[in-house]
Amino acid sequence: MGSFKSDQNVSFAAPRAFGKRLKSDLKETFFPDDPFRQFGDGGGAVQRVKKVLKYFVPILEWLPKYNLSMFKYDLLAGITITSLAIPQGISYAKLATLPPIIGLYSSFVPPLVYAVFGSSKHLAVGTVAACSLLISQIIGRVASPEEEPTLYLHLVFTATLVTGVFQATLGFLRLGILVDFLSHSTILGFMGGTAVIISLQQLKGMLGLTHFTSKTDVFSVLHAVFTRTNEWKWQSAVVGIVFLLFLQFTRFLRNRNPKLFWVSAMAPMVTVVVGCLFAYFINGSQHGILTVGHLSKGINPVSIHFLNFDSKYISVVVQTGLITALVALAEGIAIGRSFAIMKNEQIDGNKEMVAFGLMNILGSFTSCYLTTGPFSKTAVNFNAGCRTAMSNIVMAIFMAFTLLFLAPLFSYTPLVTLSAIIMSAMFGLIKYEEMYHLLKVDKFDFCICMAAFLGVALLSMDVGIMLSVGLALLRALLYMARPATCKLGKITNSSLYRDVEQYPNATRTPGIIVLQLGSPVYYANANYIRERIFRWVRDEQTISDTNDGSVEHVLLELSGVTSIDMTGIETLVEIRRSLQANGIQMGIINPRIVVMEKMIASDFTETIGKENIYLSVDDGVERCRDLVPKLKQTDGSGESSISLCTGI
């Protein structure tokens, strides 16, 4: 604040035209990264068209530069993530109460679409557990997957279409700001709570139960498990525990030595193959070990004619689509950015939303359900050394080969194997250390995290996420309604002014109080700002009376005020009037262009006087020091007439 003195005067230029201000505001809201700057760098019409196509279709940017040395890495990464995609696809489809083949279909078409339109080099496309369970929970309310499997499947395809349309629309309109309302704390708690209930639900497969609850909360799941002890099959439990221990051991090896990532990546596929052989040779169904059942050959059949927009179900379909769209976007974009940062690269969040939207739209037409960028598969893709999105194309090719020739072999996969795979994956989503870190750093963030965690685990997934988002919005409202203000003092042997609470040795100038406002001033916080300024003045007056001094000038440092409305301006007028009534002069320091334009348009600059608006804190303090005689009026007893209880 005011780190140097300057002869430059404050700019009182006429406010910009409405159209210019609107253009600037829209640009900052929707185009903060200025994506169109590259289209104005010269060149003919053909060059501009090429740039536009490369911008909207990223594969056109990297494919011409692609070479064999890059393909070697992408081939290895693609084969590795395929080995993970097959068991995960079957597992998460069962979690969504869908036919297992749908999970395999969902790893064929969507990765191809993402490879064309996605901006991340490392993201691997696939189904995810949280959205799979959300789909099952919400759509299961109106269509039972057991009693009405065809209707249920068609509604899932329709919800996937809604998800895709919503995601693509957000991307085209550059409304990624909506995803930001799902804070890190919310996602952390949501994923942790989801992991708990998904893990508990796998007890059905681990124990070989044939009857189970459709509810997802902890109490209902545990009640279903322990009231059906007569259905428990010890053979299934033993096989499940062995597989789970094996999977956890491979995760342990990967954590101890990251170079062994491939061991953990291949473990689910090894588990499935061993499980299939085991179930086949011992005829597992006769020993309480249930299997997936028939899986037909062939790549994705067209499903566009299955989309169901019946008014009886449309509200639930739309609800499912919107909720899962936001969750999938938050997870996929966050994961893509995390791995891009590791390589000092960036991804475009709006392009990612468009890519996710298009792959879900086309997926709904080709018998797929919701896909995004799962963490486990992306981590494997990254560690395998992928260079471009070609690894997704490789995965899609191998998945097509599996669908055409190998799918029936996986019909012997024991359900207990899938349960073990899901439980092992879920254990990694409960981030105890991060939750504890939140508790140490920010108690409110921890409460937001716990609202999602406990809400999902004890109530339901949609209620849990709404509770957490509600708390996060409440916190944001509190920040806006009760913005930070501070008193500034001068750092010794410098011209810097800093918060006196943070820097207790900063010195105040006698008779002058400098206050910094750090947020927009508008109707929701104007009254609080007024009362807070008066309290600062009263507190300073108490100190001044003790030191035989008095407050003569109040300077408001506004460089942190990004906007102001008419209520805010009227509040400043009232503050000035009240201060003047008590012999105190008010000054304004460094208002930003948007604030200055409002002040000029409302004649506030004339009301306060242009001579009382300063470029820097130093300029303001020096000017106030030069003002004589003192403006403070005293009564006959020599005491200040300032009211410490009323008025100020």
Task: Read off the pLDDT of each residue in 440-462 and give the average, rounded to a whole number.
Answer: 89
SS3 520: coil
d(CA 583, CA 640): 9
Residue 633: predicted pLDDT: 40
pLDDT for 268 beyond 70: yes
247 and 152 in a common domain: yes
Task: Tell me how far apart the alpha carbons of residues 350 and 179 are, in angstroms, rounded to a whole number.
Answer: 11
Question: What single DSSP character describes residue 503?
Answer: -
- Range 212-222 average pLDDT: 81
List, in sequence order, every beta strand (DSSP E) within 552-633.
553-557, 585-589, 613-614
pLDDT tens digits, 457-496: 888 877 888 898 889 888 888 888 888 889 999 998 888 8
Residue 6: inside a domain: no
Q: What is the pLDDT of residue 340?
A: 84
Does one domain contain both 279 and 418?
A: yes
Structure tokens, 68: 């064999």
- Would residue 281 count as lying in a domain? yes
Q: Which of 236, 150, 211 is nearest to 418 (CA)?
A: 236
Which long-range contacts does 34-37 make (Cβ < 8 Å, 24+ apart)? 35/348
Number of folded domains that form the chain: 2
Amino acid at 312: K
- What is the band of 35 on the pLDDT scale with cuts at 50, 70, 90? low
460, 495: one domain: no
Distance in angstroms (rounded) separating the CA atoms of residues 34 and 500:
38
Quick one: pLDDT at residue 39? Answer: 62
Task: Say if CB 463 and CB 138 are below 8 A apart.
Answer: no
Residue 547 is predicted with a pLDDT of 56
pLDDT tens readout for residues 521-555: 999 899 999 999 999 998 888 876 655 558 889 99
pLDDT by residue (tens digit) across 568-616? Answer: 999 999 999 999 998 899 999 999 999 999 999 999 999 999 999 999 9
d(CA 117, CA 360): 12
pLDDT digits (tens, 9 = 90+) for 122-161: 999 999 988 998 999 899 989 989 889 999 999 999 999 9
Residue 56 counted as domain residue: no
Cα-based angle 336, 337, 340 (whole degrees, multiple of 5): 90
Spatial CA neighbour of 457 closest among 631, 218, 261: 218
pLDDT of residue 36: 64
Provide the mean pLDDT of the chain.
85
Provide the 10 A C-beta neighbour count for residue 547: 8
The CA radius of gyration of the chain, in Å to the nearest whole number, is 31
Q: Contact, 533 vs 515, CB < 8 A? A: yes
Per-residue pLDDT of 36-95, as tens digits, reads 666 666 566 777 778 878 888 999 989 999 999 899 999 988 998 998 889 889 989 988
Residue 563 · residue 520 · CB < 8 Å: yes
- 286 has a pLDDT exceeding 50: yes
456 and 497 together in one domain? no
Tell me, yes or no, whether 220 and 237 share the same domain: yes
- Is 527 found in the same domain as 563? yes
112-122 confidence digits (pLDDT tens): 999 999 989 99
**How many alpha carbons fall within 13 Å on the CB side of residue 86?**
31
Residue that terminates a domain, selected from 475, 491, 522? 475
In a domain, 39, yes or no: no
Q: What is the mean pLDDT of residues 329-357?
A: 85
Q: Which of 332, 251, 235 is nearest to 290 (CA)?
A: 235
Model confidence band, residue 431 (pLDDT cutoffs 50, 70, 90): confident
The number of C-alpha atoms within 13 Å of 378 and in the hemisphere containing its C-beta is 24
Same domain, 400 and 515: no
Q: Could you give phi then psi for residue 521, rounded to 5 degrees? A: -110, 115
- Local structure of residue 509 (DSSP, 8 states): P
User: Same structural domain for residues 527 and 442?
Assistant: no
pLDDT band at residue 164 under the 50/70/90 scheme: very high
Q: Of the candidates 475, 492, 520, which is a domain's last residue?
A: 475
Distance from the first to the final alpha carbon of the chain: 26
Report the candidate in 57, 102, 496 with the shortest Cα–Cα distance to residue 295. Answer: 102
**Would you say residue 153 lies in a domain?**
yes
For 151-214, the three-class secondary structure string (H helix, E strand, C coil) is: HHHHHHHHHHHHHHHHHHHHHHCCCHHHHHHCCHHHHHHHHHHHHHHHHHHCHHHHHCCCCCCC
pLDDT band at 642 (very low <50, low <70, confident <90, very high): very low
- Specify if 293 maps to a domain: no
Check residue 56 and give its pLDDT: 85
Residues 184 and 327 in one domain: yes
**Contacts of 203 by beta carbon, 8 Å cutoff, 6+ apart:** 209, 221, 225, 419
Task: Look at residues 460, 557, 432 and name the one whose alpha carbon lies nearest to residue 219.
Answer: 460
CA 22 vs CA 17, 25, 28: distances in Å: 9, 5, 10
CB 267 within 8 A of CB 248: no
* 429, 574: one domain: no
Output the pLDDT for position 105: 96
Residue 7 lies in a domain: no
Peptide bond into 629 cis (omega under 30): yes
Tokens found for residue 185:
């704390």
CA 625 – CA 631 distance, rounded (Å): 12
Same domain, 174 and 198: yes
**Is residue 351 assigned to a domain?**
yes
Give the 3-state secondary structure percentages of the chain, helix then strand then coil, rounded to 5.
65, 5, 30
DSSP-derived 3-state class of residue 518: coil
Write the CB contacts of 94 (distance below 8 Å, at least 6 apart in sequence): 100, 103, 292, 415, 418
Q: What is the pLDDT of residue 135?
A: 93
Q: Which domain holds residue 105?
A: 68-261+271-288+300-475
Greater pLDDT, 345 or 401 = 401
Q: What are phi and psi of 587, to 5 degrees?
A: -130, 160
Question: According to the model, what pLDDT value does residue 3 have?
Answer: 45
pLDDT of 546 reads 55
Query: Do 411 and 283 sit in the same domain of this protein?
Result: yes
Per-residue pLDDT tens for 172-194? 888 777 776 778 888 888 888 88
